[in-house]
A and B are shown apart, each in its own frame.
Chain A
Amino acid sequence: MARTECVAMILAGGQGSRLGALTDEIAKPAVPFGGKYRIIDFVLSNCTHSGISTVGVLTQYQPLDLNAYIGNGGSWDLDRNNGGVYVLPPYVSMQENKWYKGTANAIYHNIPFIEKFSPSYVLVLSGDHIYKMDYRRLIRYHKETGAAATIAVMPVPWEEASRFGIMNTDDNGRIVEFLEKPENPISNQASMGIYVFSWESLREYLISDELDSASSNDFGKNIIPNMLDNNESLYAYRFEGYWKDVGTLHSLWEANMDIIASPPVFNLHDHNWRIYSKNPIKPPHYISSDAVVRNSCVTEGCHICGYVDKSVISDGVTIEKGAKVIDSIIFPNAHIGEGAVIEKTIVGEGAKVGRGVVCGVHSGDDNPYASNLCTDGIVLINGNIEIEDGAVIFKNSMVRTYEKGVIDND
């Protein structure tokens, strides 16, 4: 195999349990986003635009959809005759038969894969972040400082700093201390979970970490602290731009709203940094004479006859006459029935919302679908379920399965 300067490894095995029903059957990186994307499109497109064409995607949890979605990588220009995209699930070897125990362990198990390309650098990325980033600049900074590892950081609001891994650096940007979720942070530079390592150094740390039975085999908890303890030179690379970890339903909802804000908080209308995706093969969308659509985005294959405001409408969605969709995210191929009112709701793929359903408008004490994952009034309707005509779904509900007649529509 020809030598490759930098191999990217995307951690895409997380369960994403805080996304509730959305990740019951698909891994978090395969969750739809922004109308025609999946979360993993952002990191894959960043790799392509940064000239990184050898990419390993480490899967573990519910990989079927993700594997099918990535295919041969052609959608991201990653179908290469040297390199390209590889889906790397855990596998059985002569010595052992183990799932990926942690992020570092996942990379450890793929040392033979990385070695095939004899890279100088390995970029470790997360498959569930929404951002546009030119990794070439990060790698250039890594080369300039001659560091063993460089960690991308961004300033977060001080009051939120205690939720992140915080980097304390000296004046030159060298990391002197790394604190995971500190109670009293002295810096607001948070780790974005984006690392570039000099491969020789990382390989040694991965091997010794694997020998340590007390380790949880995690980059943030073990590898980075071990490197700091050994006085390796670690640098922080300051990223300025939009970045969001869409780990919760509320953050997923917020990130979607960020692309439709005017002007957009996160701009996808960017010809120099297009986000690639597996495009649906559908005609342009149709807006009927009865429809009102504003402050929203709509994509191919939709048929809109209702009122849509501040919402993200994915491909193949039908919104019938008289229906109102506000502050919501409608996933691909969902159907919103006549006269339904949908507010601050994530409607899953292929879900069918009946006529006159009222969803996310009222609060109720006696909510059979109440879920502590659905905060700030958000409602989640699971994919491929049907909500019967006239049903009322209260705020903060997660409807995994809907049984007729559970809620009286008074």
Chain B
Amino acid sequence: MTNTMGIILSESNSQVYSLTERRAISALPIAGRYRLIDFVLSNMVNSGITNVGIVLKHKYSSLMDHLGSGREWNLSRKSGGLRVFPPYIRRGLPGVAEGNIDLLASTESFIRKSKQQYALLSTGNAVFNINFTDVMDFHTQNNAEITLVYYEHNQADNRILSNRVLLEVSEDNLVTRIEMRPGRPKSNNVFMNLILLERDFLHYLIDEAVSVGEHDFIRDILIKNLSNLKICAYKFDGYIGCVDSVRSYFEISMDMLDADIRNELFNPDRPIYTKIKDQVPTKYENNASVHNSLIADGCIIDGEVRNSILFRGVNIGKGSKVFNSIVMQDAVIQANCELQHCILDKEVVVRDAGRLIGESGHPMILGKGEIV
């Protein structure tokens, strides 16, 4: 798919509360050593895409730091490679983008000057492993003008469906109706915020939309043109975890303890790349007792850990118990602490005998660098 450029829109989402207070949702740490954006970015690279632009809305410094030159994703290239677009003020456009059309418009010259025939648009908040060449094959076989990627949500869970964009798809793969966060969902095909189309056509659509002051790609471009464009839908059958709330973040994190999901996501033929930290292997001390947990490098564990995820460089002191929790990078849990249903952001310190008990479904969240 070297003939396709990738564009990732990193939008912010206030639903993940303090975890996204200082970072874009795509910069959210997940699965012990990754950030959410690593998944879609690695998928693009593994599908042969070598020209990727990442458009940042605000709170972008942690993402810029994470991505660097793009070397870890093999995107430090002479031609193409990784382009990061921090928000900037441009004549004719407001400083802070209102919608995704404004974000795309801010990269107008990048889209115009790229040489690839196709463009793949995505957000950066999903955990999945997909081969985009399958989507491309589908797109050309169906002679589609636009292809949207969706998955079938298998529970009739209105709580989730009413919060998503849903697609009604005909037998010949045509999108016949699009529901935006419907109160009473009719379909359970959830749009994955993945759009494939020709680059020239994208440029034309954005130009047109901006000229009439439109902001939202789904509402103002897709829904309005449903009857006069050939919009097809490709169904993705693999595991998909879309982070849009603390609850979904917690659930998706815990999904990583399932060997089947882990083996699918971290398929050695399509690896997920991330920033390398050169951490040492994790050290298990004499009192360590770890069960059903995912542990990154650089930890020192002398306590008990169950059903939990430890990021790089976490310290668990003697006599401490960490159950059903997510502990991010460089957090320190001193001796004789007890943690249940907690999410500890980076560099949190829990001092001796600290006790933090959250509820199942409502984890207790400690912000970056807090000391308890």
Binding site for B on A (CB under 8 A): 34-36, 74, 260, 262, 264, 268-269, 274-277, 279, 281-289, 291-300, 303, 308, 312-313
Whether, in the assembled complex, B88 has its beta carbon less than 8 Å from a beta carbon of chain A, the answer is no
Q: Interface residues of A: mostly helix, strand, loop or mixed?
A: loop
CB-based contact B283/A269 at 8 Å:
yes
Q: Is the CB of A294 within 8 A of B31?
A: no
Across the two chains, which residue of chain A brings its CB closest to B294? Answer: A284
A283 to B266, CA, bound (A): 7
Supply 6 further A-B pairs (C-beta < 8 A) apart from A283-B33, A313-B281.
Answer: A34-B280, A36-B280, A269-B283, A284-B31, A284-B296, A312-B281
User: Is B273 in contact with chain A by the CB < 8 A criterion?
Assistant: yes
Tell me which of A274, A291, A293 has the highest count of chain B C-beta atoms within 10 A of its own C-beta.
A293
Question: Nearest CB to that of A267 among chain B residues?
Answer: B280
Q: Which stretch from B50-58, B242-250, B284-292 is at the chain A interface?
A: B284-292
Chain A's closest residue to B279 (CB) is: A274
Residues on A with beta carbons closer than 8 Å to the beta carbon of B298: 269
Interface residues of B in 291-312 (CB under 8 A from A): 291-298, 300, 309-310
Q: Please indicate the chain A residues that have their CB under 8 angstroms from the CB of B266 in the complex.
A: 282-283
Whether A285 and B291, one on each chain, are in contact in the complex, defined by CB atoms closer than 8 angstroms, is no
**B272 contact set on A, CB distance < 8 A:** 281, 283
Nearest chain A residue, comparing its CB with the CB of B290: A287
- Taking CB atoms, residues of chain B closer than 8 Å to A277 are 278
Residues of A within 8 A of B288 (CB): 293-294
Contacts of B31 in A (CB 8 A): 283-284
Q: Are A36 and B294 in contact (CB under 8 A)?
A: no
Within 8 A of A (CB), among B231-254: none
- Measured CA separation A260–B301 after assembly (Å): 12
On whether the beta carbons of B259 and A303 are closer than 8 Å, the reply is yes
B282 within 8 A of A: yes
Whether the pair A281, B294 counts as a contact (CB closer than 8 A) is: no
- Of chain A, the residue at the smallest CB distance from B307 is A289
Which among B265, B276, B280, B291 is the interface contact of A268 at CB below 8 angstroms?
B280
Distance of A34 Cα from B280 Cα, bound (Å): 9
A-B contact pairs, 16 of them (CB 8 A): A34-B280, A268-B280, A279-B276, A279-B278, A283-B33, A284-B31, A284-B32, A286-B293, A291-B291, A293-B288, A294-B288, A295-B284, A296-B283, A296-B284, A299-B281, A308-B284
Measured CB to CB, the closest approach of chain B to A32, in angstroms, equals 12
Report the minimal beta-carbon distance from A264 to chain B, rounded to whole angstroms.
8
**Given A36-B297, A294-B288: A286 in contact with B257 (beta carbons within 8 A):** yes
Partner among B283, B297, B309, B310 whose Cβ is within 8 Å of the Cβ of A300: B297
Give the CA-CA distance A269 to B315 in the complex, in Å: 11
Q: Is B358 an interface residue (CB 8 A)?
A: no
For B77, what are the chain A residues with a Cβ–Cβ distance below 8 Å?
none
Query: Counting chain A CB atoms within 10 Å of each CB, which of B32, B256, B282, B297 scores highest?
Result: B282
B285 touches A289 (CB 8 A): no
Q: Contacts A283-B33, A297-B284: A274 and B278 contacting too (C-beta < 8 A)?
A: yes
| Bound Cα distance from A295 to B282, whole angstroms | 11
B354 within 8 A of partner (CB): no
Q: Are A294 and B297 in contact (CB under 8 A)?
A: no
B278 touches A284 (CB 8 A): no
B residues in contact with A285, CB < 8 Å: 282, 294-295
Determine the chain A residues whose CB is within 8 A of the CB of B296 once the complex forms: 284, 300
